[in-house]
């Protein structure tokens, strides 16, 4: 069993898509080990996305992630990290496969509905970040 961090981002919560997204997570065989609705402050969003701090979209990304409530989950499954990223789809919803969450609920490369850890080390750090 592997664990990964999933976030339903502010756009998807605001657009009332979180119920559908949680249902897809369940139907795809993930165990939702932890789940909470929360908001993050600017300095925490900057810390969470620190790997992107030199990118041109960093400031917008931080503004977006602090713009409203998010739903944070720890998902458990065999190969949870890759499996969740596959269900999410590519960063840009335009290129995402049919049936993926970003294809169905993402609005743009920025407002793309969900987050998922991209490596075992990131998963461990990101889970610790939200669930001490």
Give min distance, CB of 1 to ligand IDP, in A: 22
Question: CB of residue 117 vs Mg ion: minimum separation in angstroms?
Answer: 8
Binding to Mg ion, residues 73-132 (CB under 5 A): 118
Residue nearer to ligand IDP on the CB measure, 57 or 68: 57
Q: Which positions lie near ligand IDP, rule CB under 6 A?
A: 52, 57, 61, 91, 109-110, 112, 115, 118
Q: What are the backbone dihedrals phi and psi of residue 126, each rounded to the nearest 5 degrees, phi first?
A: -70, -35
Task: Specify whether 115 is catalytic.
Answer: yes
Of these partners, ligand IDP, Mg ion, none, which one is at the site of residue 91 (CB under 5 to 8 Å by kind)?
A: ligand IDP
Long-range Cβ contact pairs of 36-45 (< 8 A, separation 24 or more): 36/71, 36/72, 36/130, 37/13, 37/69, 37/70, 37/71, 37/72, 38/69, 38/70, 38/71, 38/72, 38/130, 39/66, 39/68, 39/69, 39/70, 40/65, 40/66, 40/70, 41/66, 42/66, 44/129
CB of 111 to ligand IDP, least distance (A): 7
115's contact among Mg ion, ligand IDP, none, with CB below 5 to 8 A by partner kind, is ligand IDP
Single out the catalytic residue among 115, 116, 117, 130: 115
Supply the residues annotated as catalytic: 115
């Amino acid at each position: 069993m592997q664990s990964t961090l999933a976030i339903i981002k502010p756009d998807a919560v605001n657009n009332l898509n979180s119920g559908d997204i949680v249902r897809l997570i369940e139907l795809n065989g993930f165990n939702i080990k932890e789940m909470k609705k929360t908001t993050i402050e600017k300095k925490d969003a900057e810390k969470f996305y620190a790997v992107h701090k030199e990118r041109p979209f960093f400031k917008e990304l931080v503004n977006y992630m602090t713009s409203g409530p998010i739903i944070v989950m720890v998902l458990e499954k065999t190969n949870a990290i890759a499996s969740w990223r596959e269900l999410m789809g590519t960063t840009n919803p335009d290129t995402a496969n049919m049936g993926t969450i970003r294809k169905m609920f993402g609005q743009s490369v920025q407002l793309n509905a969900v987050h998922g850890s991209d490596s075992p080390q990131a998963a461990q750090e990101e889970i610790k970040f939200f669930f001490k």
